[in-house]
Structure 1
C-alpha cells in the first residue's frame, strides 16, 4: 500500500498533490493547514499532523507503514471523497463556470 504525503507548513490552496494521490486511491498524510484540511479528514482519508512537527509526521508514517490494511481503507476512502464529494476536475470546473455565470449575470 502507498501513501501520499504533503507536509505543508503554510496555507495551501487545494493542493493538487493531495487531489492526485487521493484520485489514485492513496492514503493521505498531511498537515493541519488550510487547503489540506479541506480535503483530508483525520482518520478517514488519511492522517493529519500539526505543521512543522517532524516527530509527529515521522510517527504517523511509521504507524501507516505498520498497518497496510488501514492504509488500504484510508486510500479507498480518499478515492471516494474525490469521486463523490465534488473534488473531481469536472466537478470543480463546473463549479467555477457556475460562479462566473452568477457573477456575470443574465
Structure 2
C-alpha cells in the first residue's frame, strides 16, 4: 500500500490554549495549538478567513522553551507594530500550512 505523501498529511487543530488568545502588539504571547498531526516544517500563521486566506502581520514561531509533540504545539506570537486591534466578535484564525498547502485553521486569536 502506498504511503501518504507530505501534501496528504492530515493536521487537525482542535483547540487553542487561550480562549481566545489575546496578543498585544510588539509583545511576545505564548500559546499552544492542541490537536493531531503536528510536524516539524509546518507553518503557523494568522489569517482573517477560515480557509487560511488574507494573512495578518503576526510573527509566529515555535516556543524554544517548550516541547512540541504531534498533539501539542507551543508557539510564540508577536503582532506587528501598528496592527489594529481585532473586533472581539470576529476573532482571527490560527492557520497551518505544510509544503505550501493549507491544512487547517481554528478561530480564536485577538490582537489587543
**TM-score bracket relative to the smaller structure:** under 0.3
TM-score (norm 2): 0.25
Higher RCO structure, 1 or 2 (CA under 8 Å, sep 6+): 2
Structure with bigger strand share is: 2
Could you say which structure has the higher helix fraction?
Answer: 1
TM-score normalized by the length of structure 1: 0.26
